[in-house]
């Protein structure tokens, strides 16, 4: 495991010289929160982080000004059980760009963040939107958001590259509405000759028992569409089971 500073420095080294990248990492103090799932019987705390990348290019931008490139928002949960065992769960809530030419730095930022984590569970929900973190960035004609399916493909490739197989005990993924991996791979642009070889063994579907109630096994993260669906199921007095 590397520190985030070490990981991001290494990630930026291959980029062309002449640009000064500035990294801002804002993290709240851990605070106690409700368990992610009802079965967690220990104490859970959460830290909320926002990481931003800006660039100063003396050839294009005045020295006193910088332009934001991209950002990453995460939540890091630590659950301490009665036997003092700890479990860290990371939820990557948002990834966004401003549309400013970024030399694919967004992927470099996410990889550096992932490589700075210790043993943990990482959750990503890929839902495409015109903008997430940067107000009015959707009006930038240079910004071309990915579709939902393309975004899943982006995450699939990025996680396959960023996480060494030796550190991954299980990797699950799914695309809503598709029941088999072959169809899903085609949908995200990874089918046929375009399928990327990876050391990670991806398993398609959910890491839960088939008869498990959704509200008992799916973690409830802040600002997560799945959490809102679960609350709706509970409000409607349904059992919330996967079928």
Give residue for tokens 């992932």: 114
d(CA 37, CA 194): 37
Question: How far is residue 233's CA from residue 71's CA, in Å, rounded to a whole number?
Answer: 32
Question: Which residues are CB-neighbours of 142 under 8 A, at least 6 positions away?
Answer: 99, 100, 101
CB atoms within 10 A of CB 114: 20
How many residues would you count in the chain?
243
- Catalytic residue list contains 224: yes
Whether the CA torsion 189, 75, 162, 16 is positive or negative: it is: positive
Closest CA to 117 of 230, 4, 240: 4
Task: Determine which one of 57, 58, 224, 235 is catalytic.
Answer: 224
Catalytic residues: 224
């Amino acid at each position: 495991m590397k520190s985030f500073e070490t990981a991001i420095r290494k990630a930026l080294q291959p980029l062309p010289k002449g640009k000064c990248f500035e990294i801002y990492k804002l993290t709240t103090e851990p605070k106690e929160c409700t368990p992610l799932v009802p079965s967690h019987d220990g104490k859970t705390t959460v830290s909320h982080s926002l990481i931003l990348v800006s660039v100063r290019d003396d050839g294009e931008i005045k020295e006193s000004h910088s332009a934001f490139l991209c950002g990453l928002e995460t939540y890091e949960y630590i659950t301490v059980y009665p036997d003092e065992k700890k479990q860290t769960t990371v939820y990557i809530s948002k990834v966004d760009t401003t549309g400013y030419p970024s030399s694919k730095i967004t992927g470099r930022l996410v990889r550096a963040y992932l490589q700075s984590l210790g043993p943990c569970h990482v959750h990503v929900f890929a839902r495409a939107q015109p903008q997430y973190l940067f107000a009015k960035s959707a009006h930038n004609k240079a910004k071309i958001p990915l579709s939902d399916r393309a975004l899943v493909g982006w995450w699939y490739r990025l996680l396959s590259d960023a996480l060494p197989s030796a550190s991954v005990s299980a990797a699950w993924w799914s695309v809503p509405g598709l029941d088999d991996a072959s169809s899903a791979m085609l949908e995200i642009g990874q089918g046929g000759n375009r399928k990327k070889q990876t050391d990670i063994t991806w398993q398609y579907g959910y890491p839960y028992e088939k008869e498990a109630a959704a509200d008992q096994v799916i973690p409830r993260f802040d600002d997560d569409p799945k959490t809102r669906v679960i609350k709706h199921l509970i409000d409607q007095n349904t059992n919330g089971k996967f079928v």
